[in-house]
Amino acid sequence: MPGLSELFRKYKREEKEKETERKAEETKGALGKTFLKAMPLRDLADLDAVKNEVRSGNILILRITPLANKSIEDVKRAVNELCEFVESVGGDIARLGEERVVVCPPNVKIWREKPQVASEPIPTAA
């Protein structure tokens, strides 16, 4: 049987999800615009809000340092979960330096410079 504190956390998490969904609906109704939002990733529970925003068509820049300060394992779990989610919805995800990750909805792709092939000669000035 779950304890009182566990039930309270579950209720609080459900309320947070409802609020996030409400905000996502408001954002979606804003003339179909895509927003670029920045937010810190403090806890694994924040992933639900991230997913809702991406489903709503918004681009998110996540600062992962707050979660990394707590647990590197949680950062790995969060990034893996986001990668799987983004792949399932057809979006895109990339690292921005050491502290940030950008997550995009299906209608936005991240440009990646193709690395130069080592077997080709590198042009030099004569």
Q: Is residue 107 within 8 Å of 116, Cβ to Cβ?
A: no
The residue whose two tokens read 């999800």 is 17
Count of C-beta atoms within a 10 Å radius of residue 16: 14
CA-CA-CA-CA torsion for 47, 51, 52, 54, nearest 10 degrees? 140
Taking only the tens place, the pLDDT of each residue in 67-120 is 999 999 999 999 999 999 999 999 999 999 999 999 999 999 999 888 766 666
Which is more confidently placed, 10 or 66? 66
- pLDDT tens, position by position, 17-73: 777 666 666 655 555 789 999 999 999 999 999 999 999 999 999 999 999 999 999
List of domains in the chain = 4-104 (3.30.110.150)
The total of other beta-carbon atoms located within 10 Å of residue 77's CB is: 14
Instruction: Check: CB of residue 19 under 8 Å from CB of residue 12.
Output: no
Q: pLDDT at position 33, please?
A: 87
